[in-house]
Chains A and B, each alone.
Chain A
């Protein structure tokens, strides 16, 4: 597709379960970002990949959150032992490079609801 694709668009799970959210970036984009957005707030940075490696994971809230990008393209955000406070929209973005002049292209997000 032409844009950043995220699946699933909606996920409802129970407290304590494991969840995976997938991001398919724009072809050729080496930089990939994950953000999460709670209601009424701006997006909050989680992690940045340059190629296959996580260059900046300073935004991950705790060790229940983990993300991978094994082949430098698709990325998966993994959340273990989900809590109600994890409910949010998880946004993925990609960019040609990770430099501060680059434009980020965002997907429409995966809405996670933890019951």
Chain B
């Protein structure tokens, strides 16, 4: 999988929107952009994914730049439960028989009450 770059940490106030950035300048045309999050002492949890168009679901929105070299995960109203590590992942063919996810270190989001 191609590499992504995310800030190590971010802070947000409760009930305010949060914009989590991700740079992926070497993305290939067939790579999907996936976001997962991991709450303390739990396994990662799927958040959202997209290819070219912006995507919305019940958890978040994903805004993808026109050149696809960057994307932003948007949490519309942060709650204390959203405090987690957020991983931005490019998912493409690994060349070894799978489309496995390759996790980086992610962004640790803290939510201030």
Contact = CB atoms under 8 A, between A and B. Distances in A.
A56 B97 contact: yes
Interface of A: 4, 33, 35, 40-45, 48, 50, 55-56, 58-59, 91, 93, 98-109
Contacts of B105: 40-42
Contacts of A106: 43-45
Chain A interface SS verdict (over half): loop
Contact of B100 (A33, A41, A108, A109): A33
B98 to A, nearest CB: 4
B96 A99 contact: no
B16 to A, nearest CB: 26
A104 B92 contact: no
Chain B interface SS verdict (over half): loop
Contacts, number: 65
A9 to B, nearest CB: 10
A81 B95 CA distance: 30
B100 to A, nearest CB: 5
B96 A109 contact: no
A100 B97 contact: no
Contact of A45 (B36, B93, B101): B101
Contacts of B98: 48, 50, 55-56, 98
B44 A43 contact: yes
14 contacts: A33-B101, A42-B87, A42-B103, A48-B98, A58-B94, A58-B96, A93-B44, A100-B30, A100-B32, A101-B49, A102-B99, A103-B46, A103-B49, A104-B101
Contacts of B104: 42
B43 A108 contact: yes
B96 A56 contact: yes
A63 to B, nearest CB: 17
Contacts of B68: none
A56 B43 contact: no
B40 to A, nearest CB: 11
A42 B91 CA distance: 15
B87 to A, nearest CB: 6
Contacts of A109: 43
